[in-house]
Amino acid sequence: MTTEPRQPKRVPTLTEVISNLPAADATPPALPTRNDADVASDPLLATALMEESRIAERVIERLQPRIDVLFEHRLRESLAPALARLYAVLADDARKELARVLREAVEQAVNEEMARHRAP
């Protein structure tokens, strides 16, 4: 049973695909017309927007120190209860660990002392 090698499928070339497109319109699209009032207002509008931007920047610069103080105050207020709870848990854990270590140290010292008294 012999098989003949397969011929690859023909793929169209780019020029064949493009040649089937409709012809491009030779006239460019018309630009919107503007009257003199529109042209005159654009620089004024741009100037007004730039001035508004500068004013906003200056206001933010002046308010920044107050914003920082307010932010820090609010942050402290909101974090204080959580930090208090965290401190209580950490202090409780530290007390328990200290008590455990102290018990172990006392137990070891008592065992060593007992061993010294048993030895002849």
Give pLDDT, residue 31.
57
> Closest by alpha carbon to 52, among 63, 64, 40, 44?
44
In a domain, 26, yes or no: no
Residue 19 lies in a domain: no
| Residue ranges making up the domain that contains 53 | 39-118
What is the spatial distance between Cα 95 and Cα 89, in angstroms, rounded to a whole number? 10
5 lies in some domain: no
Q: Is residue 43 part of a domain?
A: yes
Predicted pLDDT at 83: 93
Does 47 fall in a domain?
yes
- Our count of domains for the chain comes to 1
pLDDT score of 108: 95
Backbone angles phi, psi at 20, to 5 degrees: -85, -5
Identify whether 105 is part of a domain. yes
Q: What residues in the chain have per-residue pLDDT under 50?
A: 39-40
Rounded Cα gap, residues 96 and 101, in angstroms: 9
pLDDT of residue 45: 79
Domain membership flag for residue 61: yes
